Amino acid sequence: MKYVLLGRLDAAWAGKQADRLKKAEAKLKELGIKLESIHYTQGKYDFVDVVDVPDAEAMLSFSVWYAGQGFGRIESLPAFEPKSFEAAVKKAAK
């Protein structure tokens, strides 16, 4: 399952990018989450990542861990492939 992560950095960690990223990548690996892409943004969110997770519990564990480290906050959104969306539309039409 893919998720889109919308993240906000805590001000204390904004200047410690390499350290935060190293710790986050290690935790992702430990939880079996594959980091597919990282994009830094301007506006409400500081970054948008795409990850592939083994299950929703792994995603929740990472989000709780991330906040607990004081890095900031993450909103995680399940991301569906076009085929899944099309199947859902067909089921909804019945």
How does pLDDT run across 8-17, given as a tens digit for each residue?
988 887 778 8
How does pLDDT run across 39-80, given as a tens digit for each residue?
999 999 999 999 999 999 999 999 999 999 999 999 999 999
**pTM reported for the whole predicted model:** 0.84
Domains and CATH numbers, the chain: 2-92 (3.30.70.920)
User: Residue 19 is which amino acid?
Assistant: D
Angle at 25 between CA 19 and CA 31, to 5 degrees: 140
Partners of residue 7 on adjacent β-strands: 47, 74
Whether 8 and 72 have beta carbons less than 8 Å apart is answered as: yes
